Amino acid sequence: MKPFQPDNSTGQPGGSTFLDRMLAKVAASFDSLRGAVTNDVLVTASLDNTKDWPVPHGLDYAPKTWEVVDQDANATIWRSPAVNARPAAVMLLRASAAVNVTIRFM
């Protein structure tokens, strides 16, 4: 996607700074939405039922949601209810049995 360039940034007469600021904010909103919708970063992890496993998600903010894309065993995976001291870096996950998973965080 091509970044927005305001009309009056070229010094041409007739540009509206108010309209340029509004369009820049709309463009920034779409950019942030595109990152959430098109997150194609998949994280693999090995989990089991012995403890909470910190899984790095790479988002730099606490994920809004996540989904298991693939798993190699019959297991249920859930977010741990334990307090997570680093939600912008990892999510604490647990599984009902030993399993390797591929997860997409959003």
CB 93 within 8 A of CB 80: yes
**4-33 confidence digits (pLDDT tens):** 555 555 555 556 788 888 888 888 877 766
Residue 7 and residue 21: Cα distance in Å, rounded? 11
Give the residue-averaged pLDDT of 68-87: 94
Within a 10 A sphere around the Cβ of 77, how many other Cβ atoms? 20
| 3-state secondary structure (DSSP) of residue 104 | strand
Element (H, E) at 30: helix 17-37
pTM here?
Answer: 0.62
CB 78 within 8 A of CB 94: yes
**34-73 confidence digits (pLDDT tens):** 655 556 678 999 999 999 999 999 888 888 889 999 999 9
